[in-house]
Amino acid sequence: MNIQIKKFYYGDIPEENTGGQPAAVNKSNEKAWPLWEVFIRSKQGLDHKHAGSLHAADAAMAIENARDVYTRRQEGVSIWVVESKHVHASDPGDAESLYEPAADKIYRHPSFYDLPDEVKHM
């Protein structure tokens, strides 16, 4: 078996990856399977949460791999997979303009109400 494993880390998803084909950087890399992001719902009624990523040749294999890698200790009842190249991420360089303006707008937090003691989970 001559499969090249290429490891990507979060925020590191290559933009040149398009349409299920791995980036053709060199010849051996042509054999690499595309990367998939895995989302697991831990129980009914909860949201799917990002669990990690893995390699697979197609969606069916990605779900099976996710089942084997991420739910073997009963972590989930439902799996979503999406090819990493379809995830559009914000640019870390934009963090200043994206997130910092919210810092001084404390009025957006519901912290100016007097809550009766009886109200829990707020």
Partner 1 sequence: MDKTTDQLINYTLHLADTTLILAQRNAEWCAHGPILEQDIAITNISLDLLGQSRNFYQYAAVLINQSASHQNKPATEDSLAYLRNEREFKNLLLTELPNGDWAQTVLKQFFFSVFQSLQYEQLLSGSDEQLAAIAEKSLKEITYHLRWTSEWVIRLGDGTDESHERINKAIEFLWEYTGEFFIPADYEKNIEPGITVIKEKWLQKIKEVFEEATLSLPGDVYMQTGGKQGIHTEHLGYILAEMQSLQRTYPGAEW
Residues that bind partner 1 (CB under 8 A): 1, 3, 5, 33, 54-57, 60-61, 64-65, 67-69, 72
Residue (of 10, 13, 11) closest to 92 by Cα position: 11
Q: Are the C-beta atoms of residues 52 and 40 closer than 8 Å to each other?
A: no
- Residues paired with residue 81 on neighbouring β-strands, in sequence order: 38
Q: Are the C-beta atoms of residues 19 and 83 closer than 8 Å to each other?
A: no
List all residues 6 or more positions away from 53 whose beta carbon is below 8 Å from its beta carbon.
8, 35, 36, 37, 38, 84
- Pick the closer one to partner 1 by CB: 55 or 85: 55
